[in-house]
Structure 1
Amino acid sequence: MSRIRSALLPPALAILFAAALCAVALVISGASPLTALGVMIGQVGQGTTAVDIVNSAAIYYIVALAAAIGFQMKLFNIGIEGQYRLAACVAAIVGGLIVLPPVLHTLVIIVVAVLVGAVWAGIPALLKAYRGVSEVISTIMLNAVSLGAIAFLIRPDSFGVLQGNNISTKPIEPSGQFPGLDTGAGTIFGMVVVAVLLGVGYWFLLNRTRFGFELRASGESATAATAGGVNAKRMVIIALVLSGAVAGLAGLPEVLGRDFAYTLTSPQGYGFTGLAVALLGRNHPAGIAFGALLWAFLDKSAIALDNIGVPRDIVLIMQGSVVLSVVVAYEVVRRYELAAEQRRVAAQLRGAPAADKEVVG
């Protein structure tokens, strides 16, 4: 019973708390919460909104999985933003320069993105493992370095192609593109399937392999894990490199499914959103999927708020409220469970002497 309560009570409290905060924000803005919610839900059936939600959720899901791998080791990979953007840029450059048979061409682009993300994350991993440098500081700094590297790579005198007022990499030939599913109301990225497979692989890795056990054990207590024979430095390196490798895939849904090139105006900000989605999903693959869909829904349906005179920026407050609610709810339940356990132990200790006297008598 206690286990079920611990699993269901936090998300229930989080939903109630988030709903209350969002309702207050909407009332302050002069709108009815029920009206705003109805308009946003109705927007899902308009145009390509539903498809856009699925596509965005897939990207958020990939980025959040990358963050969750680090979180399992209590590592904060803040550099996901730079890792996926640099990986997408280099992969697009390679994809535009080569021509291979279909499928093989796409696989090469994917492998390049994975390797670039892994190598870029490997720098802070080595600094953390062998020099004790905080991964938060090193990954943030590398975000800035990656932006400079991207600007250099897609210059016209490097690998860039000037198209009007925009600069991009050379377009990827159809043989390297990842075909999607045409729904009639838009095309669902083929990389959505890859996102699902990544989620299954993440679950299997954590729950059905020795590495997953060592990863979680090292995150709970590095000292205890080391005493049990786990190489702490190796786990830090592997966790961050694996996180970077997954992050490297986050830019490919749009590169291979829509833009077929990387440009200076390519979407950004997914890396930081992924951190919030991972926290929202509590690092569980199913929870992250729910969080990604919710975040994408709020993003894409916000346009409908303009129709009732509510600024769409109110969605930012909603998203922040959701994340805050999850963090607060789980902390409240954790403290309640801890206090309850302490009371049970104290009661048992108080009853132990009386029980001993009865046995002696």
Structure 2
Amino acid sequence: MSPAAKGRLNRVVLNVVAAVVAALFAGGITSLILLIRGDSPSFVISQMWNYGTTASTELTIVNGATVYYLSAIAVAIGFRMNLFNIGVDGQYRLAAMLAGAFAGSVALPNGLRQIATILVAMLVGAAWAGLVALLKVTRGVSEVISTIMLNFVATSLIAYLMRPSIFGHRSGNDVTTKRIPKSGQVQGLDLISGSGGKVYGLILLAIAVGVAFHVVVNYTRFGFDLRASGRSASAAQASGVNVKKMTAVTLIMSGATAGLVGMPALLGESHSYSSITFQTGLGFTGIAIALLGRNNPVGIAFAALLWSFLDQSANILDLNNIPKEIVQITQGVVVLSVVVAYELVRRFALAQQQRLVGRAVGTAAPALEGASA
């Protein structure tokens, strides 16, 4: 095995070990809290597992993971260039609202309406993130500050646009966008037998987004420039990369992907946007899942499934007089543990690489001296 291949294998092994250690640490902290409360950790885990592996709960877990996955990919696109897009939450909600209003009002043939709705959502997300890019590249405004502020602006803008005189339609005590007709909906998939429901049809879109993210970032010139700019903007600039352009394009791509976050539920379940019932906070969950999955599409998929499993299986805890907030503690500890563990692994791998280089230089030096003699 070549030294390069051996080094890659060692990194994979170290990453797996780090993830396992982090999970065990998080489980230990959660068990300690349960013991302090007087609850049995084994009982809690068995209850969550039994509830989480029923067909109906599995369906909810997969659907939740689909949405989490898209949110995490949107965040990961920015992370790969060392950009922190905290505005995914506002981007996907504004995109879902406008896309829902479009799909419910514009008459298009079946098939074309779904595609157009998805494109509208991506364009809205990209445009909202484009404001962040404009402030970043022209005025040097931190994307962290601008995205946080734009989340609040998006919330207010949605409230304004959802007025009955604009896009809103009263439905009992709620105000929604006009209902999307069946010709504009995306039918679900019968993947889990006995669940009594269907998996979001747009899970296929989520998979396609993950594949595209992996290919673009790892196997294209654009992806190389993106990663290079993220590691050292000055070095990338010196090698001919237009860092400002890369920053703008990356933020816009992140926003376009964020626009897709609300589409599985909008087109596959609710068929209208509601400020009250439409799920919020997915952008912040995506940050945690992207960190947990190390910005890798496969790692993010497992992290999204784990997060969704914890979310759904926590519902059984209330029935056993156990506060389900214990799951939120577990999720937080898992993220912190994984971040710390991977950082330790990164430092260990860097030190090991430096030692290997030192040995190589040390063995080459005597040979050069002998040749010159």
Q: Which residue of 2 aligns with 1:36?
A: 44
Is this contact kept in 1: 2:67–2:262, CA < 8 A? yes
Q: Which residue of 2 aligns with 1:293?
A: 305
> What is the letter of the counterpart of residue 110 of structure 1?
I
1:191 to partner: Cα distance: 1.1
Q: Which residue of 2 aligns with 1:335?
A: 347
Q: Which residue of 1 aligns with 2:215?
A: 204
1:4 to partner: Cα distance: 2.4
The answer to whether 1:3 aligns with 2:8 is: yes
> What is the letter of the counterpart of residue 249 of structure 2?
I
Equivalent residue runs for 1:17-32 within 5 Å: 17-32=25-40
Is this contact kept in 1: 2:68–2:304, CA < 8 A? yes
Q: Which residue of 1 aligns with 2:318?
A: 306
1:11 to partner: Cα distance: 1.9
Please say which of residues 62-71 and 299-308 is displaced more in the overlay. Answer: 299-308
What whole-Å deviation, never above 9, does each CA across 1:17-72 have from its counterpart, x for those lacking one? 22222222332332222221211111123362110000000000000000000001
Separation in structure 1 between the aligned mates of residue 176 and residue 296 of structure 2, nearest angstrom: 36
Separation in structure 2 between the aligned mates of residue 43 and residue 32 of structure 1, nearest angstrom: 17
TM-score w.r.t. the length of structure 2 is 0.91
Separation in structure 1 between the aligned mates of residue 275 and residue 337 of structure 2, nearest angstrom: 35
Which of these residues, 80, 85, 92, is aligned with residue 77 of structure 1?
A: 85
The answer to whether 1:247 aligns with 2:247 is: no
Separation in structure 2 between the aligned mates of residue 211 and residue 353 of structure 1, nearest angstrom: 38
Unaligned runs of 5+ in 1: none
Question: RMSD across aligned C-alpha pairs, in angstroms?
Answer: 2.0
Is this contact kept in 2: 1:180–1:257, CA < 8 A? yes
What whole-Å deviation, never above 9, does each CA across 1:266-310 have from its counterpart, x for those lacking one? 110000000000000000000000000000000011112224332
Runs in 1 of length 4+ with deviation above 3 angstroms? 338-361
Is this contact kept in 2: 1:29–1:310, CA < 8 A? no
Please say which of residues 79-88 and 321-330 is displaced more in the overlay. Answer: 321-330
1:312 to partner: Cα distance: 0.6
Please say which of residues 256-265 and 3-12 is displaced more in the overlay. Answer: 3-12
> What is the letter of the counterpart of residue 227 of structure 2?
R
The answer to whether 1:279 aligns with 2:291 is: yes
Please say which of residues 23-32 and 107-116 is displaced more in the overlay. Answer: 23-32
Which of these residues, 118, 121, 126, is aligned with residue 110 of structure 1?
A: 118
1:217 to partner: Cα distance: 1.0
Please say which of residues 242-251 and 124-133 is displaced more in the overlay. Answer: 124-133
Separation in structure 2 between the aligned mates of residue 291 and residue 39 of structure 1, nearest angstrom: 21
Separation in structure 1 between the aligned mates of residue 26 and residue 156 of structure 2, nearest angstrom: 38
Unaligned runs of 5+ in 2: 1-5
Separation in structure 2 between the aligned mates of residue 200 and residue 359 of structure 1, nearest angstrom: 51
What whole-Å deviation, never above 9, does each CA across 1:155-204 have from its counterpart, x for those lacking one? 11211011111110110111110111244422211111110111111111
Task: Specify the SS of the correspondent of 1:167.
Answer: strand
* Identical residues among aligned pairs (%): 50
Q: Which residue of 2 aligns with 1:164?
A: 172
> What is the letter of the counterpart of residue 42 of structure 2?
L
The 1:353–1:242 alpha-carbon spacing in structure 2 relative to 1, beyond 3 Å, is closer
Please say which of residues 290-299 and 178-187 is displaced more in the overlay. Answer: 178-187
Separation in structure 2 between the aligned mates of residue 81 and residue 5 of structure 1, nearest angstrom: 37
Separation in structure 2 between the aligned mates of residue 254 and residue 360 of structure 1, nearest angstrom: 72
Task: Specify the SS of the correspondent of 1:291.
Answer: helix
Is this contact kept in 1: 2:56–2:194, CA < 8 A? no
Separation in structure 2 between the aligned mates of residue 221 and residue 259 of structure 1, nearest angstrom: 44
1:348 to partner: Cα distance: 6.9
Separation in structure 2 between the aligned mates of residue 348 and residue 259 of structure 1, nearest angstrom: 61
The 1:342–1:229 alpha-carbon spacing in structure 2 relative to 1, beyond 3 Å, is closer
Task: Specify the SS of the correspondent of 2:317.
Answer: helix
Is this contact kept in 2: 1:99–1:173, CA < 8 A? no
> What is the letter of the counterpart of residue 325 of structure 2?
D
What whole-Å deviation, never above 9, does each CA across 1:108-160 have from its counterpart, x for those lacking one? 11110000000000001111111110000001000000001100111112110
Separation in structure 1 between the aligned mates of residue 137 and residue 333 of structure 2, nearest angstrom: 35
Task: Specify the SS of the correspondent of 1:162.
Answer: strand
Please say which of residues 73-82 and 207-216 is displaced more in the overlay. Answer: 207-216
1:235 to partner: Cα distance: 0.2
Q: Which residue of 2 aligns with 1:65?
A: 73
What whole-Å deviation, never above 9, does each CA across 1:204-260 have from its counterpart, x for those lacking one? 111221111111111111111111111101100000000000000001111111111
> What is the letter of the counterpart of residue 67 of structure 2?
I
Q: Which residue of 1 aligns with 2:228?
A: 217
> What is the letter of the counterpart of residue 126 of structure 1?
L
